[in-house]
Amino acid sequence: MTELSALEVSRWFVLRNNMNTQQYGDELLSHLKLQKLLYYAQGIFLAYTNGKSLFNEEIHAWDHGPVVPGVYTEYKEHGRDEIEFNPEHTDMELLDKVSGNEEIKMVLEFVYTNYGKYSAWHLRNKTHEERPWKVTPRNKIIKKEVIQDYFMKEVLVD
């Protein structure tokens, strides 16, 4: 069973970004970039764990790429602006939860390190070139099997 919700994964990315912003002056995440990081995290987790979902919520193929609608609703007030970090009382619990699961921690750190360095627009364009978004009609669910197959064959190949 999945241990995290898409909102928890998105919050983890906001927390992780805040740490890098404080230490290295990284830019804050935008909503668009956050959505793409969720997509890459789910795809890599599905491929790495041979089909286990990182979160249960579905990813939809919207005009600007893959989106988790519930996370969109949570962060839509930011529009194109960066997501300001506001500490929450549950942040330490979430960090502990992620740290307690080596697979989840490894995948989230990998995604943040390898995809978080790109701009939101770069990630948007990248997802538009990838099979899961290309083969899914707009506003429909991108099937997890399609995401897993793509990431197994095209991303995590060694």
Question: Does residue 136 belong to any structural domain of this protein?
Answer: yes
Token couple for 134: 């290309």
Structural domains of the chain, count: 1
- Residue at 123 is within a domain: yes
Q: How far apart are CA 70 and CA 31, in angstroms?
A: 12
In a domain, 72, yes or no: yes
**Measured CA angle at 95 (ends 91, 101), to 5 deg:** 150
Report yes or no on 1 lying in a domain: no
pTM over 0.75: yes
- Alpha helices by DSSP H, listed for 49-130, are 69-75, 91-99, 102-115, 120-128
Q: Rounded distance, CA 66 to CA 36, Å?
A: 7
- Using an 8 Å Cβ cutoff, are 123 and 36 in contact? yes
> 124-157 pLDDT, tens per residue?
999 999 999 999 999 999 999 999 999 999 998 7
Q: Is 70 part of any domain?
A: yes
Where in the sequence is the domain holding 67, given as residue range(s)?
A: 6-155
Summarize pLDDT for 64-86 with one digit per residue, the tens: 999 999 999 999 999 888 998 88
